[in-house]
Structure 1
Amino acid sequence: MAFAASLADLQEEASCPVCLDYLTDPVTIHCGHNFCLFCIHQCWEDLQDIFPCPVCLHHCPDRSFKKNPQLCHLTDIVKQLPTTSSKRKGQEEKPLCEKHNQVLALFCEEDMELLCPQCRVSSDHRDHPQTPTEQAAASHRRKLRSYIKPLRKQIEDAELGREIQVSKSLTEVQWKMKKWRRELHSEFEELNDFLRKEQVAIHGRLLMQEKDVEEKLTQYISQISNHMSRLQNLLSEITEKCSQGDLEFLTGIESIHNRYEHLKCPAVFSYELRKESCNFPPHYFGLQNMMSTFQVDLTLDPETAHPNLIISKDRKSVIYRTTEANCLDHHEAFTSYPAVLSCEGFGAGRHFWQVELRGTGEWSLGVCRNFPSNALIPPRPKDGWGQFQRCTRTWGTGHTGQAMRIGVFLDYELGEVSYYNWNSRSYLYTLTDTFTGKLMPYFSIGPSSKSLTISMVLDER
């Protein structure tokens, strides 16, 4: 066994590193390596200043080399010896350059290609960094192994992200659907049998949206699963690649690098829900359009408030409070009738606002140009107050339970103030007059009221 190994070593020493055959006309170059005369001539054929050794890349100063008669004689003797199987096997396992039929002993780091000594000096690779195959394989093996841990981490993160995204998306969709169903159900109850069929239709569309989101979510899960599969396959391929021999390992290495560097995780799952609304009767569409087109945001003016009225900090609500007669805090405050004006006034155009009434008691809503300080009742056109008679109002008694919402629509040029029950989306009535000057919305609470609250409402639906 030892003899066979020694014989194989001897035959290898008598072989040319370029052609892998027995040395023919052996010569020794500056670094001490031996080659066939023809092989070293071929390697240096197109070079001018620097002549690298095909084995160690040592730069020889010139083309000088020495013939080696002793090695030539030794090679002739070795040729007479029987060829060992290991020698034949070694020759078969070493791939040769398809272009130059020389051993692929170098690796181009820029083009990620195996090179033979003659490829190394070609114009395609001459200026590229090159390393011996053993060194290149060790370097890239370390680099690929460094991919293993990040890949495993990416797989774990992708799996965790999938679980979180699925749970969050389903919960959010279900919550939104539940909320919207409650709102829609409330409106359907107010419109009774007329909207029952529409409720079924809208629920069907919501269900379709929900199914659509679920389908998209299923697609997203599939994309994440495919991404994880690609990561797992790449991880397995890299793990297997790292166990291969140098030449086999370096073959196709660029593909693995490119796939790892261009890994792209699927985009974060997103969806857009379309909120459904009830298909209300024709008159409801008119109210909705009026509200969305002409709605204004009003605030109460504390300077005009009766002393028994408490204005909220945001100036959106007023509460009636019974007090003993006392001096007025503001010279413009209404002394006899609990009322307050809006800060905003209108001298033209169309305007819509909503009022929410809670509690029990009398209330009055309208518009006026001014309000007398000694008024005992709300202003009315028939009272003949001159400049103060330009007003309209509604008058009623509040009720307990659900808050009452009243909509007021002012058409200045047409001379109309219309009132709507916003709970039932129904028309109440319209007062007409000829308007001049600036009109101020006003809000009154009857003297017999004890716990009535009037609030401004800005409906953003």
Structure 2
Amino acid sequence: MAIAASLAKLQAEASCPICLDYLRDPVTTECGHNFCPSCIHQRWEGLQGTFPCPVCLHHCPDRSLKRNTQLCHMTEIVQQIPTSVNQRKLQEEIPLCGQHNEVLTLFCEKNMELLCAQCRVSSDHQDEPLIPIEEAAASHRRMLKSYIGALTNNLKNAETEYKKQVANTWEMKRKMEKWRDELDLECKEHKCFLEIERDQIDNNLLIEEKNVEEKLIENGRQISYHMFRLSNLLSEIEDKCLQTDLDLLTGIEGIHNSYGNLETPAVFSCELKKESYNLPPHYLGLHKMIRTFQVGLTLDPQIAHPSLSISSDRKSVTYRTSEGLPNPHALTSYPAVLSSEGFDAGRHFWVVNIEGTGECLLGVCKESIPRNTLISPSPSNGYWQYQQKNEVFRLFCAGQHKIGVFLDYELGELSFYNLNTVSFLDGFSYTFTEKLMPYFSIAPSSESLTISITKVK
């Protein structure tokens, strides 16, 4: 292929730029281009003064041309070289000017089009900047190469953005799947809660049914006995009425006494109490509280007890078996840690996940409590907490155990909720006068217990 291309170039050099055939007795212009004498004189026919070169448009001062004997001999040699089919095809595919049927040798920068030498002397392109194809190609090649760097960077940025979009898509799917799982879990928990309530109500109904049934049976027995007495007394009276006067009056006192002492048994009033079930009173209000007042908390490792291990995202705390270095800023001698955020006004709700078994304390404490002391956490010492021990968080349904803590600073209330059963656990009332810090503590015996701060969406 390289030899064929070189041969094609050699044959092109031995061809006249005007007639595109092999040069016949070639002559050379002042600018160094070669033509057939008849072709160049025909091109200059009718011109006066200056004569432009058909290739480079160099103005030759006159019609005098020099015969190029060496090129003439070379042309004769080239003509003797066999021309392959591919070479002939290559020569046939040389683009020509559609208007003048000549080789395209010039490029118009204004209109971005290829032109021949004849196009330059036409009225349509006289004032336009025309440059040789080689020069134009070199200039545009440099420009195209300058685009490569920018396009490469743009492609990399686009690829990075595309990867982000793909990652965002998967993250969205992951979140949706997580929310679906949470929804399924919540529905199962509610279903379980409803089943428990239903069983309790059904048991109450069975007890009431049994009590009412016993009373109705007893009442029926008394009425049956009363009917028996009435029937006997009625028969006895009817028989007395048919007797003689002497027989009728004999024992008449007993009949009068039996009739006078008749007592109708009390009829049992069967009024059933209908059992009904509604969602817990905190259910709707609790969800609204979470949506409105939920805050995100982070644990403060600077004041954490050395026995506690804080996660890198400062959202979880566990008790570690080997105690770390003493922390002079630790809250108390108890394994406790505060959040970095505190509150001295407003309403705030945070959610705590508790996994494992053991003992933990959740609540708030005053920001000003003494550090590294043996003070027992209590409201009198500035602590308000809710305590859970020994698998209190074991639920009827599997899943994480969520505890909600609600602080109403102005009202002076701290409330705790079991979010798995959507129920109220406990609460405290107090007049708060200084900044309060969310408080978390794990007992030393609770090595399998983990407390995590989360958000309900």
Q: Do both proteins adopt the same fold according to a TM-score greater than 0.5, normalized to the shorter chain?
A: no
Q: What's the TM-score, normalizing by structure 1? A: 0.39
